[in-house]
Amino acid sequence: MRSMEFLGSHILSIDQFERPDIEKIFSTSDHLLPYAKRERITRILQGAILSNMFFEPSTRTRISFGSAFNILGGEVRETTGIEATSLSKGESLYDTSRVLSGYSDIIVMRHHEAGSVSEFADASRVPVINGGDGDNEHPSQALLDLYTIEKELKSKNKTIDGLRIALIGDLKYGRAVHSLCKVLSLFNNVTINLVSPEKLELPFSIKESFSNSSVSFFETDDIKEGISDVDIIYMTRIQEERFSSRNESDKYKGLMSLNQEIYTKNCEPNTIIMHPLPRDSRPDANELDSDLNQNPNLAIYRQTDNGLLIRMALFSLVLGVDKKIEDSTSEIAWYSDK
Ligand code: NCD
């Protein structure tokens, strides 16, 4: 099986990875845990600059990429929103990329158009990581989701091979789901329950790609049926920003929601609950009720913590310092009880 060259590579799609590459990212993530938990400090990226270019709203992806770079000792420059940049003055992605890549050692970019990050990467003089391009892909999210799935299953003596998962909500526009489906295709005997309103079903191209894998799937718009026989429930938000109008997206809000009562009545014991976040907690949507917050199987904050590790691992591998982390370590000087 071919193995990917991380050094100096753009990370644009989850399709770039085979299983050995994923294992490499996961073992690098494991190795970086003491640094993420602030038990030790490394300065291995001292002097390096990340340009964290988020032309679409973001909380976790932006801050965790930035924090990951800081934890490795690097500096972060960032912009949020197109209106704060010269893209709003008509500058092309090509020019923006040529310019910013002169100021940075690596770039993370998010943009509302599918394919935009790849276009940006073509013009860049430094590696570019896709932080989400429109409704297309979100590769680092899929990696952190898969890493979480592996860890959660391991605690229950299960593996990703043989996984049964329900993907629920806006499967049409959800880029996190698109990348996750692709990466799950690398594993054996995975069963995916696709649970969505009919108009928001998973794009045909992704369903078609399952035929080249050992994934089996079935589709339903009944959440109770979809969650009854799985190891993991993966809820998603209606991606209202991708619809032609709020009226259009509002039609689908609240149709798929999970709370403790529905969970207790319909799920196998200890079914794990995931969500890429943000969960839409407004009353008309509320896809993941806050009454699940005390449920020990709710893995959403373990997911976000794992996001930091995965992003540290990607920077280490792409910038070629994964074997050198220990060269510049020290103890922390401040109080920490993570
Ligand atoms: C997701 C995204 O931006 O695609 N959020 C994230 O990065 N964790 C999911 C979403 O916005 O619904």
Distance (Å, rounded) from C-alpha 55 to C-alpha 110? 6
Q: How confident is the model over 80-93, as pLDDT tens digits?
A: 888 888 888 889 99
pLDDT of 328 reads 83
Listed in sequence order, the residues at least 6 apart from 29 whose beta carbon sits closer than 8 Å to its beta carbon are: 147, 306, 309, 310, 312, 313
DSSP 85: S
Separation of 236 CA from ligand 1 center, angstroms? Answer: 9
Binding-site residues, ligand 1, Cβ < 6 A: 60-61, 132, 138, 141, 175-176, 237, 239, 276-278
Q: What is the DSSP letter of 282?
A: S
Look at residue 83 in the predicted model and tell me its pLDDT: 84
Q: What is the pTM of this model?
A: 0.97
CATH number for the domain running over 139-301: 3.40.50.1370
Residues 236, 286: Cα–Cα separation, whole Å? 10
**Which has the closest alpha carbon to 54: 65, 43, 67?**
65
The terminus-to-terminus CA distance of the chain in angstroms comes to: 39
pLDDT recorded at residue 338: 73
Which tokens is 90 given? 């008509």
Give the model's pLDDT for residue 176. Answer: 98
Continuous H helices in the chain: 19-31, 33-36, 60-71, 93-103, 116-123, 139-154, 175-184, 204-209, 223-226, 246-250, 260-266, 300-318
Domain segments of the chain: what residues? 14-138+305-331, 139-301
CA–centroid distance, 324 to ligand 1, in Å, is 32
Residue 138 CA to ligand 1 center (angstroms) comes to 8
CA 185 / ligand 1 centre spacing (Å): 21
Same fold across 14-138+305-331 and 139-301: yes
The residues of the chain scoring below 50 in pLDDT are: none
CATH of domain 14-138+305-331: 3.40.50.1370
DSSP state of 13: -
Do the Cβ atoms of 152 and 115 come closer than 8 Å? no
Atom of ligand 1 at shortest distance to CA of 174?
Answer: 4
